[in-house]
A and B are shown apart, each in its own frame.
Chain A
Amino acid sequence: ETGVTQTPRHLVMGMTNKKSLKCEQHLGHNAMYWYKQSAKKPLELMFVYSLEERVENNSVPSRFSPECPNSSHLFLHLHTLQPEDSALYLCASSPSGEEGETQYFGPGTRLLVL
Chain B
Amino acid sequence: AQSVTQLDSQVPVFEEAPVELRCNYSSSVSVYLFWYVQYPNQGLQLLLKYLSGSTLVESINGFEAEFNKSQTSFHLRKPSVHISDTAEYFCAVTPNTGFQKLVFGTGTRLLVSP
Contact = CB atoms under 8 A, between A and B. Distances in A.
A70 B4 CA distance: 33
Contacts of A106: 43
Contacts, number: 63
Taking residues whose C-beta sits less than 8 angstroms from the other chain, chain B's interface range is 20 to 34
A99 B100 contact: yes
Nearest to A91: B43
A42 B43 contact: no
Interface stretch (A14-22, A48-56, A60-68, A74-82): A48-56
30 contacts: A4-B43, A31-B100, A40-B9, A42-B4, A42-B105, A42-B106, A43-B44, A43-B92, A43-B102, A45-B103, A48-B101, A94-B100, A98-B100, A99-B94, A99-B97, A99-B98, A100-B96, A100-B100, A102-B49, A103-B44, A103-B46, A103-B100, A105-B43, A105-B44, A105-B45, A106-B43, A107-B41, A107-B42, A107-B43, A108-B43
Interface of A: 4, 31, 40-43, 45, 48, 50, 55-56, 90, 92, 94, 97-103, 105-108
Interface of B: 4, 9, 32, 36, 41-46, 49, 51, 90, 92, 94-107
